[in-house]
Amino acid sequence: MTRKSTCRLSFKTTLVFVIPFLIALMAFRHSHQLYNRYYEEYIKHKDGLAGCRTIIENMFLPGLTSVVTDAFGIAIIGIYFYLKRSILFKLLLF
């Protein structure tokens, strides 16, 4: 008598653990970059408000691009696994 394992750990289920960690790292990277840039501008202008204004003007578009491309990459991973599962499911039925 063979016993089937009820715990099936696949690549897809391991991504459930990895993706939130990657999202947190991307958010930390972005906030750390803004933090460092603020202090560079603060030292240059000697004014906190001027430093904030400068980094918002200079880093808004690159920051937005970074967040959008990160979200796009995560969406591609999700779409890939969804399509892979649905194609395999259709092939198994026929």
Q: Which residues, in sequence order, are CB contacts of 71 under 8 Å at separation 6+?
A: none
Report the chain's C-alpha Rg in angstroms: 22
Residue 1 maps to a domain: no
Extract the tokens encoding 81.
């696994």
Does some domain include residue 8?
A: no
Q: How many domains does the structure of the chain reveal?
A: 1
Structure tokens at 52: 């904030």
Task: Specify the higher pLDDT residue, 14 or 49.
Answer: 49
At 18-70, the pLDDT tens digits run 778 888 888 888 888 888 988 988 898 888 888 888 888 888 898 889 888 98
Containing structural domain, residue 26: 20-93
| pLDDT for res 51 | 86
**Entry pTM:** 0.59
Residue 33: inside a domain, yes or no? yes
- 38, amino acid identity: Y
Is residue 11 in a domain? no
